[in-house]
Amino acid sequence: MVGRRSRLDRFISKACQISLREVKVLLAQRQISVDGQWVSDAALQIDGFSTISAQGLVLQERQRVYRMLHKPIGVVSATQDSIHRTVLDLIDGPVIPGLHLAGRLDLNSSGLILLTNDGRWSKRLSAPETRVAKYYRVGVAHPITPDYIQAFAEGMYFEFEDSITAPVILTIVSDRVADLVLTEGKYHQIKRMFGRFRNPVLTLHRYRIGELYLNGGPNADPTEPCSNDLAEGQWRELTDAELGLFED
C-alpha cells in the first residue's frame, strides 16, 4: 500500500537484500538519502511516496497524483469492469500504480470525479467526519414541491443501513429540477430519497466537490459547458491552488 508507513532500515534491508546491520553501516557512511537528504536514523518513518536512494541507486521514486475528470453517463465508477467502460479507461498515458477513485457516481450519473494514488487523501475526502460537501443537479419525473425541502433537511431513515441520512440542502431550481448539497454518500442516496416521494430521478450531475467546481464557478449553470473546463470524458491534473481547497 502506497500510504502505509514503515521503518527505513527494514525497507532498505528488503529492497537491497542485506541485513539490518549492513543497513546501519550504510546509514553511518551517509550512503542513504530520503527525499534528497542524507539520513542516519534507521527508524525513520517512510511511505510509498518517499524518494529513497542507497549508494547512488534509486530504490523508490513515486509522485503523488491528483486528477479531476468529467464522467459521462454510461461509464462505470470503477477501476475495471467486464461489461462497461470504466473511469480509468478514460485516462490516457502511462498506467499509474494505485490510481483509484476518491468517490463514485452511478452508471447513469455524470459529473465531477476525483482520482488519486494517495490513499490517505481519498480516505480523508470520504470520511464522514470531514463532511466534504458534494453538489448535484437533479432532474426528476414529477414536480418538486416545497415539502421536499423540509423532508430532505430533516433526514430520512434507511432501513438497509439502519441509520438516518445527514441533512441535505435542497434548492428548487425549476418545476422538475433541484440542486442538492450532501455531506455523505449512502448507496443510491439521492434516488432513494426522491423515491420516498415516488418521484423517479431522470438525470443526476455532480458539479462541485467542496470548493472545486467542474464547470465555470458558483454562478454558472452546472449543465452548461464552459470554454476553459472539461468536456465529458476529459481529465486534467489538479493545480496546487485546487489541492489547497481540500487542506484542513
Q: Count of alpha carbons within 13 Å of 134, Cβ hemisphere only?
A: 26
Strand partners, 110: 205
Q: Is 164 exposed, middle or buried (0-12, 13-18, 19+ CB in 10 A)?
A: exposed
177 with 139: CB under 8 angstroms?
Answer: yes
R_g of the chain computed on alpha carbons: 23
Number of Cβ within a 10 Å radius of residue 236? 12
Which of 47, 81, 106, 229 is labelled catalytic? 106
23 with 13: CB under 8 angstroms?
Answer: yes
Helices (H), the chain: 8-16, 20-28, 119-126, 147-154, 189-195, 240-244
106 is catalytic: yes
Torsion sign (Cα): 213, 216, 217, 219: negative
In whole angstroms, how far apart are CA 173 and each of 207, 222, 231?
15, 12, 23
Beta strands in 61-186 (DSSP E): 66-71, 100-101, 110-116, 134-140, 157-158, 163-164, 169-174, 177-182
Three cell numbers, residue 166: 445527514
Rounded-to-integer distance, Cα 113 and Cα 18, Å: 43
> Which residues are marked as active site?
106
